[in-house]
Amino acid sequence: MEIIKKTDKYVILKKRSGRFGVRSMNRSWINGPEKEKILAEAGLQSVTKPKKESGEDEKTQPSNDEEDTQSFATV
């Protein structure tokens, strides 16, 4: 592993696979949101927001069936 950045609180390492690892000074690995925050501050990873589930999109937009039934009025 290659040391990318070393601070008083943590060390950022680049693994052979190209991924990054963050290790605290007490030699325990940092994972999850804290790791993402550290990598984003170092400019090594972009922050992405989770995608919306497909069920939420269907609720906000009317389906084609509802539009078609409204356009056909009985005379």
Question: Does the residue 68 lie in any domain?
Answer: no
Model pTM above 0.75: no
Confidence of residue 23 (pLDDT cuts 50, 70, 90): very high
- The pLDDT score that the predictor gives to residue 11 is 92
Q: What residues pair up with 21 in beta bridges, in sequence order? A: 13
* Max mean pLDDT range (24-33, 37-46, 47-56): 24-33
In a domain, residue 28? The reply is: yes
Domain that holds residue 38: 1-47
Does any domain span residue 40? yes
In a domain, 58, yes or no: no
What was the pLDDT predicted at 44? 80
Domains of the chain: total? 1
Listed in sequence order, the residues at least 6 apart from 47 whose beta carbon sits closer than 8 Å to its beta carbon are 36, 40
Cα(13)–Cα(41) distance, integer angstroms: 15
What ranges make up the beta strands (E) of 1-75? 2-6, 10-14, 20-24, 29-30
Tokens of 73: 């009025």
Give the type of residue at 43: G
